[in-house]
Structure 1
C-alpha cells in the first residue's frame, strides 16, 4: 500500500482547517487507509450540509424580515384602528391608527387592559360580554364602543370583534378592528338633510307646474264657473220677485180684505203659478250651487300638494277629468276620439295621474294648433298587455300635429327642454310627467305615428284582481 500523501484522490480532497491535526501520526491497528478516506468524505459531506443549512437559514431570515416589514407596513397604513388582546383583555398588538387616536405609543399600550381605553361603563360591559363568550363566531361580532381619544373625550367607533384561535383550536384572544363613526354619522346626517331638501324642492317644482297648468286653463275655468253661477243668480232674482208678490198677498189676507178681493189679488199676482214654480227654482238653485261646489272641489284637489298615498284609480275617470279641463281652454273645433272603458284600474295617485294626462293633452293641442290644423284632433286608445306575468295598461295618445323632429325625440323629456316661444312654456311638463309615471311603476315614451303626428305611449301596471 502506498503512503497516503502519494494518493492523488486524497491529496485533491477539500478538508476543513485543522483536519490534518486529526490524522494519526502512525498507523492504527485494524484501521487502514480506506477507512480514513471514508471518514474524511463523511466529514466533508457534513461540512457541506452545514454550509447549505446556513445559506437556507439566512434566506429564511431574510424572508421573515420581509414578511414582518410587510405586515408592519399594512398595520401602519390601516385607517381603521386595530387592537389584539389575549383572553384576559390585555393588549398584545396595536397599529398606528389606534396609537394616534388615543395619544399613546405602542409600547405604552402593550400589556395594559383594553378596558382602560373605553370611555363608559356600557362599553366596558359590551366588551366583557364579547371576551367572555365560550364559542364566538369565527365571522366576528359587531358592536358599538366609546373610546377615550388623546384629549380624553369620548369617541364612538363601530367595532368588529373576531376570536383569535391557536393551532390546537383553543381561543387565545380577540382581534378588534374598529372605525370611528362620528364622521360617517355626520355625513349621513348631511346626506339625509340634502335628500329631504331635494324632495321638498321636487314637490315645490311639481306644484309650480300644476299652478302653471291651471293658469293656462283660467279662461276655461271661468267659463265653467260662469254657467252655474249665472243660473243661480237668475233663480235668486226670480225668488226675490216671488217674495214681493207673496208678501203683498199675505198682507191682504191678514189685513181682513174680503174673500172676493183676496181671490182677485191671487189671480193678479199669479200666486198659483208662483207656488208651482217654486220647487223647480229651488231645485235649480241647489243644482247650480252643487255644480259650483264640484268645480271648486275639483280645482282644489288638482292644485293641492300631492301626498305619497296610493289607491285604486279608475283610469277612465282620470281621462274624463283631464279632457274636461283641457277642452275648456282648447280651440273651438277641438275633436276627441275616445271610447271610455271602465275596466282599467291602476294603483296610484289620482291627482298625479291627472297631471300627466293633462300635460300630454295640452302638448298635443299646442302642437296641432301651432301647425294650423283645423279641426284639432286627438285620439286616445287603451289596451291590455301581459308582461312578466303582470297585467299592464297601454294608453296611446296621438294628435294630428306635425310630429316631433327627429333630433328632439331623444331629449323631449329632459328638464327645461321646450320648442315653444319664451313665456309660452316652462319645459317642465313632460319631464315631470316622465318622473311621475316612473314613480307609478310605469313607462312613458314618444314616437312619430305612421298616420302623422306625435304619439305618446303611457304604460301603467293594472290592479291585480
Structure 2
C-alpha cells in the first residue's frame, strides 16, 4: 500500500456508536450499511485516482525528459526569460557559449550577459509586451565578446494568454559573413581575371590581323614612295629647263621643251599626284580601322554603317588566312545600328575567321555574310560556310570560355565567348545552327538602338 494511500476503516461498529453489548437497532444497522457502502466507493475512487495520478506523473516526467534532451541536443543557443528579463532556463549551448554554470545564469538579467553596446537592441524585444523580432547581438564572456550572432526573440504566454516573458534563440553568423566576404573577394578576382583574358584575346586578335594589315600598308606606301621619287626627278628636269631657258632666246625654247620632255611631264604630274593622294587616303582609312579596335571607350555608342563594317571585317579576316576561300557579302543598303563600333567589328571578324577555318582545304570553299533588318527592330548578321558543320556535342559548350575545336596553338577558345559577351552587352545575342545543305550558320542579332 502506498504510504499516502488512505486506510479503510475496519471497525464499523465503533464508528456507528454501538452500545456496550454491540447491538444495533434495525434502522441504525441499515443506515450504517449504507455508510459503509459509500465509504467503500470513495475508497475505490481514491485508489483509482491515485493510480491515474501516478500514470500521468510518469508521462509528465517522460515528456519533461524528452523536452530536456531535445533542448540539450540543439546546437543553437536557447534561453527563456521572465517578464522582467531574468533568465529562467538556458540550454547547454548557451551555457557553453558564456562559459558560466547554469546555476549562475538562472535568475541573472539577460542584458548583463550581453555586450554593453548591444544591450539597447536586446531591450527592445526582451520585456513583457515587447514585439517579437530578429536582431544581431554579441555576448560577454571571460575571454571577450563572442562573434556576432543572429538572434530571434519570441514572446512567451501562459495558459491565460498573458505574456510572461520571452524566448531567445540564435546562432553565430561571423563565419557565414567571413565566407560571404571570401566569396565576394573571389568573385571580384574572377571578374578581374576575366577582363584580363578579354584584353589578351583582343590583343591576340589584333596581332592576327596585323599580318594582313602590314600587306595592305606596304602597297600604298610603296607607290607613294615610288611616285615621290618620280616627282623628284621631274622636279629636277623642270628646274634645269627653267634655268637654261632664261639664258636662251625664244627660238631655242621649243628645242629645250622637247629635250626635257616638258609636255609629257606636265601631263603625267596630275595622275601621279592623284595616285599619291589615293595612297595617302588608303593609309588613313587603314589607320582609322586600327583605331576602331580600341576598346578603351567600351560604353561609347555611335551610329554604325553595317555595310562598311562588314566589308572591312571580311577584308581583314581574309588577309589573316592563307586559304583562298571565296567571301560573298550581301548587306542591305543603308543598314545602320547603334553600338561600340570596335566591339561589333571584333564580333564580325571572329565569326568570319571561324568560318574560314571551317572551310579550310575545300576546293569550293565559300563563306557568305548577309545582313538584314528584321521585323521588331533588330539587325541580323548571318555568317554561313559550306564546311563540315558543328558537332552535336559542341552546341552546349561553344560559347563557354576556353572551349575550342581547333588544334593546339590555333585558337584560345575565347573568341566566341568574347563575341557572345559583347553581343549580350549590346542587348543582342549570337546563335548557331547547322545548315540543311551542309556547313554552319552563326547569327548575330543586335537591336537597331539609337
Give the TM-score taking structure 1 as reference length. Answer: 0.72
The residue that corresponds to 1:462 in the other structure is 447
Q: Which of 208, 215, 220 is residue 223 of structure 1 equivalent to?
A: 215
Give the unaligned 5+ runs of structure 1.
Answer: 1-15
What SS does the corresponding residue of 2:294 show, helix, strand or coil?
helix
Choose the corresponding residue for 2:46, options 29, 40, 50: 50
**Other structure's SS at 2:143 match:** coil
Which residue of 1 is the match for residue 3 of structure 2?
none
CA spacing shift, 1:59–1:300, aligned 2, 3 Å: same
The CA deviation at 1:55 is: 3.4
Aligned partner of 2:319 in structure 1 is: 328
- Aligned length in residues: 428
Equivalent residue for 1:141, pick from 119, 134, 140: 134
Query: Which stretch shifts more, 410-419 or 420-429?
Result: 410-419
Quick check: 1:183 aligned with 2:175?
yes
Matched, 1:430 2:422: no
Q: Which residue of 2 aligns with 1:340?
A: 332
Between the aligned partners of 1:211 and 1:295, the Cα distance in structure 2 is: 15
Q: Deviations over 1:209-254 (max 9, x none)?
A: 333333332321212333454465457657877887999999x8xx
* CA distance in structure 1 between the aligned counterparts of 2:221 and 2:266, rounded to whole angstroms: 28
Match of 2:121 in 1: 126
Deviation of the 1:367 alpha carbon: 1.0
Q: 1:76 aligns with which of 66, 72, 79?
A: 72
> SS at 1:199's partner residue?
helix
Q: Which moved more, 1:373-382 or 1:107-116?
A: 373-382
Which residue of 2 is the match for residue 291 of structure 1?
285
Q: Which residue of 1 aligns with 2:389?
A: 403
2:27 aligned residue: 30
Distance 1:36 1:464 in 2: 111
- Aligned residue for 2:441, secondary structure, equals strand
Residue in structure 1 matched with residue 349 of structure 2 by the alignment: 358
Is 1:374 aligned to residue 367 of structure 2? Answer: no
Indicate if the aligned counterparts of 1:163 and 1:175 stay in contact, CA closer than 8 A. yes
Over the aligned positions, Cα root-mean-square deviation in angstroms equals 4.5
CA distance in 2 between partners of 1:259 and 1:145 (Å): 112
Deviation for aligned residue 1:193:
1.5
- SS of the residue aligned with 1:111? coil
CA distance 1:284–1:71, change in 2 (3 Å):
same
- CA 1:377 to 1:171, structure 2 compared with 1: closer, same or farther past 3 Å? same
Question: Residue in 2 aligned with 1:101?
Answer: 97
Shift of 1:352: 4.8
Task: Find the residue that maps to 2:148 and give its secondary structure.
Answer: strand
Residues 50-109 of structure 1: CA distance to partner in whole angstroms, max 9, x if unpaired?
344333333333333333333333333333333333343322232222222221122211
Q: Please tell me whether the aligned partners of residues 93 and 110 of structure 1 are also in contact (alpha carbons under 8 angstroms).
A: yes
2:80–2:165: 8 Å Cα contact kept in structure 1?
yes
171 and 457 in structure 1: CA distance in 2 versus 1, 3 angstrom threshold:
same
Instruction: Label 1:56 to 1:188 Cα distance change in 2 as closer, same or farther (>3 A).
Output: same
CA distance in structure 1 between the partners assigned to 2:192 and 2:276 by the alignment:
47
C-alpha distance in 1, partners of 2:288/2:409? Answer: 31
Distance 2:194 2:239 in 1: 61
> Per-residue displacement from partner, 1:136-195 (whole Å, max 9, x unpaired)?
444x132x3332234124532233333434455554333333332321222112111211
Unaligned runs of 5+ residues in structure 2 are 1-5
Distance in 2 (alpha carbons) for counterparts of 1:439 and 1:44: 95
Q: Distance in 2 between matches of 1:113 and 1:360?
A: 72
Aligned-pair CA distance for 1:41: 4.7
The Cα offsets for residues 87-132 of structure 1, whole Å up to 9 and x where unpaired, read as 43322232222222221122211222223223343x2333334447
The secondary structure found in structure 2 opposite 1:76 is helix
Q: Tell me if 1:156 matches 2:148.
A: yes
C-alpha change, 1:316 and 1:106, in structure 2 (3 Å) is farther
The worse-fitting range, judged by mean Cα deviation, of 437-446 and 320-329 is 437-446
The normalised TM-score by structure 2 is 0.75
SS of the residue aligned with 1:112?
coil
